[in-house]
Amino acid sequence: MIRKLGLLVAQGRPQLLPVSMSVPLAGALIHGKALSEFEIITLLFIGACAHLAGFIVNDLIDFQLDRTVSTRQSSPLIRGEITPTMATGFALLQFPLAIFVYVVLLQGTPAGIVTLLASIICSFIYNRWSKWGKIPRLIPEVALALSIALLCMTGAFAVSANIQATSMLFCSGIGFVLLFVNSIPSGIKDIDTDAKYGASSFVLSTGSYATDDGALFLSQRLRLYTVVLQGIITSSTIALMLIYRLQGWIVIIMVLLMVYAWLHIRQMLTTTTLAQFKRNIPFLGGFYNYFAIYLIVWTGLPNILKIMYILALLLIFSPPLTRAVTLWRTRYISIVDN
């Protein structure tokens, strides 16, 4: 039983679990009120439920497609270590679990309960229609981003019945970051397998494609969308930075993260092969954006989470620092294609 539970959790991309868990907590912290250890744990648990449900439902819907993807062959579902029925039951269980914890243990507000239910519905819309069906592909992507923004607002409603405009801006900013990560680098990463299997992702719908020999062509429509969306994220982060009048060292780190996010976008949009794109850590730009906006609630984080944030920050800064050292040692010989 314990082994099966571990396999079900492994199916839900546990490497990304801390990010999802931090979303409702961020919403609660934006009010500036001190949270008890119990409140922090329950908010993290709700984020975990949302994460596991979302990823496993997505894997169930894309099961036949994932069987053709080399990087998904280690999945417990693909290997047959867990059955689709078992995965479905575990994923659906997360929804009542999250609602129970929010209503009974956290004693969330009625507005928070409605927001949490709306987040669940938006998540389902994305999983059902992100690659299949006849609706415009941007709609499911926006639905997923809205799901995350609503999850963040659920945390905000857990500590207050009223949400200020700045709190909504913060939650919206987190939603835009998710929209960026999921609709652009995630879609480009899977562009070849989606096309071969007949799936229609947002990236493919923009006219972008990869050839059989691995060449990558990103349409002007996708490039414009990328720049505009990153501009919205940057503007939101700067606005929050000015509103909350953060400490100087926090501002410096936020600015550095935003610069790195733009540099990573430049690298992504100038990539000419799919293999090169995957080597360049596609989701790194999204992490730069998320870590920048999360610094808004830095002062409210408990010390243990501050330590975890710093360690994760060092991790995402390691790729550019490693490349800088390599450039210095090779006397600035280009290593883009190495």
Domain spanning 1-163: CATH 1.10.357.140:
yes
Ranges of each domain in the chain? 1-163
Whole-angstrom Cα distance, residue 72 to residue 66?
6
- The 3 state secondary structure assigned to 203-253 is HHHCCCEECCCCEEECCHHHHHHHHHHHHHHHHHHHHHHHHHCCCHHHHHH
Q: Would you say 83 and 122 are in contact if contact means Cβ atoms under 8 Å apart?
A: no
Amino acid at 153: M
Chain segment 61-105, per-residue pLDDT in tens: 888 877 777 667 788 888 888 899 999 999 999 999 999 999 999
Please, are residues 222 and 203 in contact by the beta-carbon 8 Å criterion? Answer: yes
Cα–Cα distance between 176 and 149 in angstroms, integer? 8
Q: Could you list the pLDDT tens digit for every one of the 338 residues in the chain?
A: 788 889 888 888 888 899 999 999 999 999 888 899 999 999 999 999 999 999 999 889 888 877 777 667 788 888 888 899 999 999 999 999 999 999 999 988 899 999 999 999 999 999 989 888 888 989 999 999 999 999 999 999 998 888 888 999 999 999 999 999 999 999 999 898 888 888 888 999 999 999 989 899 999 999 999 999 999 999 999 999 999 988 899 999 999 999 999 999 999 999 999 998 988 888 888 999 999 999 999 999 999 999 999 999 999 888 877 877 776 777 655 545 54
Helix (H) or strand (E) holding 309: helix 303-329
